[in-house]
């Protein structure tokens, strides 16, 4: 059974550039196994942060990308049919609870509320996971911790976490890093010189002001890294910005013009 968990260990230090006191706060939260919520827009470093923390704490990390079709069984487990009959297979949440991993539920709000409530007994003093279908009550391993990500921009009244769920977590706010730090990250991740990375960050800064004025979401750090990667692979800068920054987020001709204008200011 040991192999089940060893595949989730992170052997190599992930590159993570701290932006504030998040590492120290998370260390303290983990020491009391406080369930944590990482809040912030997509592509701003939440996943990289939890990968880094799992490596630093030397704990396995099990990540689940949540979606609206996900059921409680996808998290907890299900009976499978095989040649010998039926066999129970633990889901990712159960594996994490049993073997002491950090379980990261990415974009948990995408999951239906009846799916989300299965995490409740794991997030209070009980730290248990009842497997209704087998009758087993799994007591969480002392190392187990639950972490969720949450994008405050996407929520509607219909789709939000219940208050009773939210209140079970401590929350760390993430936003796009300050320009100098974001420049450092983009340059590190792509190998483009700081000067080019700085221009990409400046374009993003302009584009982020369009959020709510025609754009649903700003240009993320992840997108800047895509643009940098294209430039590093000899795609001309303006073309790289079109492909990686403008085209993915808007089809509106005026918005594309506005983004092209921002690009032309710098390249
Ligand atoms: P999220 O989980 O918030 O959607 P990610 O963690 O996947 O976003 O971030 C996207 C990419 O941006 C990462 O793969 C990483 O290359 C880079 N990144 C963002 N913030 C940081 C940071 N603080 N340190 C290092 N890399 C970062």
**What confidence tens digit (pLDDT) does each residue in 190-231 have?**
999 999 999 999 999 999 999 888 888 889 999 999 999 999
Residue stretches of the chain with pLDDT short of 70: 1-2, 154-158
Q: Which residue has the tokens 């049993």?
A: 98
CA of 140 to the centre of ligand 1 (A): 29
With a 6 Å cutoff on the Cβ, whether 8 touches ligand 1 is: no
Quote the pLDDT of residue 33.
98
145 backbone dihedrals φ, ψ, rounded to 5°: -145, 145
User: Which two three-digit tokens encode residue 239?
Assistant: 């073309």
Which atom in ligand 1 lies closest to the alpha carbon of residue 181? 23
Provide the whole-model pTM.
Answer: 0.95
How far separated are the first and last CA of the chain, in Å rounded? 54
With a 6 Å cutoff on the Cβ, whether 115 touches ligand 1 is: no
With a 6 Å cutoff on the Cβ, whether 16 touches ligand 1 is: yes
Residue nearest to atom 18 of ligand 1 (CA): 45
Quote the pLDDT of residue 70.
93
Contact 181, 18 (CB under 8 A): no
Residue nearest to atom 8 of ligand 1 (CA): 43
Please give the full DSSP string across 124-178, using - where no structure is assigned. Answer: STT-EEEETTTTEEEEPPTT-EEEEEE-TTT--SSSS--HHHHTT-EEEE--PPP
């Amino acid at each position: 059974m040991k192999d089940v968990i060893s595949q989730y260990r992170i052997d190599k230090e992930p590159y993570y550039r701290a932006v504030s006191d998040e590492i120290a706060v998370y260390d303290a939260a983990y020491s009391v196994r406080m369930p944590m919520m990482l809040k912030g827009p997509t592509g701003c470093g939440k996943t990289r942060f939890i990968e880094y923390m799992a490596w630093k704490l030397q704990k396995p990390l099990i990540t689940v990308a949540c979606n609206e079709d996900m059921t409680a069984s996808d998290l907890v487990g299900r009976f499978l049919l095989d040649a010998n009959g039926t066999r129970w297979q633990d889901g990712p949440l159960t594996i994490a609870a049993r073997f002491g991993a950090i379980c990261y539920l990415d974009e948990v709000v995408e999951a239906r509320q009846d799916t989300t409530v299965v995490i409740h007994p794991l997030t209070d003093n009980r730290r248990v996971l009842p497997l209704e279908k087998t009758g087993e009550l799994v007591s969480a391993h002392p190392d187990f911790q639950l972490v969720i990500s949450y994008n405050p921009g996407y929520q509607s009244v219909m789709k939000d976490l219940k208050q009773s769920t939210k209140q079970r977590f401590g929350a760390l706010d993430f936003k796009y890093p300050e320009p100098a730090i974001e420049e450092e990250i983009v340059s590190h991740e792509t190998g483009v010189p700081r000067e080019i990375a700085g221009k990409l960050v400046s374009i993003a800064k302009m584009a982020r002001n369009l959020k709510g004025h025609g754009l649903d979401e700003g240009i993320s750090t992840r997108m800047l890294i895509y643009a940098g990667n294209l430039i590093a692979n000899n795609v001309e800068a303006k073309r790289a910005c079109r492909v990686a920054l403008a085209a993915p987020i808007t089809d509106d001709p005026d918005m594309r013009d506005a983004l092209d204008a921002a690009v032309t200011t710098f390249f």
